């Protein structure tokens, strides 16, 4: 995903292309704040991009030992600039590669895991579970698949018309549609079920606006 984004334009595009931008990211940040009970927690941001989600989370919880993972050096350079006060450690790699050998209080992600196949998603969820400390949380702010063709069309209409209302021009819309052809989204219910099967507890959906959803699970 990062390879087909222009890092210099990413942040402004996100604002226009996610009609529920503030609630989407702030819900994930609120879940992190309510779950983390220690000072300076260890946090891993998967597919961190320019650090948008991490910024929302750290604005809510304060200082953390922050780890950013993304395959794009350009995106991570922007994230390091944005989050310089936290001195994040960066990992330039794909999510299908082994995760950092660190135990985390929280693993977070936004609009990244849907680029993996369903098998790779499930494998990643298992590795995330192993990487969490007891009581740790996994939070995913994600783009999801509708349960049928009618719902997919509804999601598409609400998403793109919402983006137009926020100022996206037709060039930006076409570029978004081109990128989405590479998506491998999964249904929300399936993803929450996979977390439960792996051993996450209290799994559930905590926000949804058509194709944008925030779901989470906790490790005992």
Report d(CA 84, CA 86) in Å as an integer: 5
pLDDT at 218: 98
**pLDDT for the residue 14:** 84
The pTM for the full model equals 0.95
Q: Quick one: CATH architecture of 2-218? A: 3-Layer(aba) Sandwich (3.40)
The pLDDT value given to residue 7? 59
- What pLDDT score was predicted for residue 12? 77
In this prediction, the residues of the chain whose per-residue pLDDT falls under 50 are: 1-4
Compute the distance between CA of residue 6 and CA of residue 177 in angstroms, rounded to an integer: 15
Rounded CA gap, 112 and 70, in Å? 9
Mapped to the 3 state alphabet, what secondary structure does the chain carry?
A: CHHHCCCCCHHHHHHHHCCCHHHHHHHHHHHHHHHCCCCCCEEEEECCCCCHHHHHHHHHHCCCEEEEEECCHHHHHHHHHHCHHHCCEEEECCCCCCCCCCCEEEEEEECCHHHCCHHHHHHHHHHHHHHEEEEEEEEEEEECECCCHHHHHHHHHHHHHHHHHCCCCHHHHHHHHHHHCCCCCCEHHHHHHHHHHHCCEEEEEEEEECCEEEEEEECC
pLDDT score, position 8 = 58
Closest residue by Cα to residue 38 from 110, 103, 96, 109: 103
Q: Give me the residue label for tokens 């990062």.
A: 2
Which pLDDT score is estimated for 95? 98
């Amino acid at each position: 995903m990062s390879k087909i984004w222009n890092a210099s334009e990413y942040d402004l595009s996100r604002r226009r292309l996610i009609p529920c931008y503030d609630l989407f990211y702030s819900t994930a940040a609120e879940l992190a704040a309510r779950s983390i009970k220690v000072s300076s927690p260890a946090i891993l941001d998967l597919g961190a991009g320019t650090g948008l989600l991490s910024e929302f989370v750290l604005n809510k919880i304060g200082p953390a030992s922050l780890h950013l993972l993304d395959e794009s050096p350009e995106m991570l350079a922007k994230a390091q600039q944005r989050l310089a006060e936290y001195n994040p450690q960066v990992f330039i790699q794909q999510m299908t590669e082994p995760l950092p050998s660190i135990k985390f209080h929280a693993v977070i992600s936004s609009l990244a895991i849907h680029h993996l196949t369903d098998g790779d998603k499930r494998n990643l969820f298992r590795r995330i579970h192993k990487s969490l400390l007891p009581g740790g949380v996994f939070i995913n702010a994600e783009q999801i698949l509708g349960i049928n063709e009618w719902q997919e069309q509804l999601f598409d209409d609400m998403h793109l018309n919402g983006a137009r209302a926020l100022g996206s021009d037709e060039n930006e819309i076409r570029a978004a549609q081109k990128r989405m052809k590479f998506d491998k989204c999964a249904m929300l219910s399936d993803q929450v079920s996979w977390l439960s099967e792996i051993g996450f507890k209290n799994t559930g959906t905590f926000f949804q606006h058509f194709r944008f959803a925030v779901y989470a699970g906790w490790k005992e």
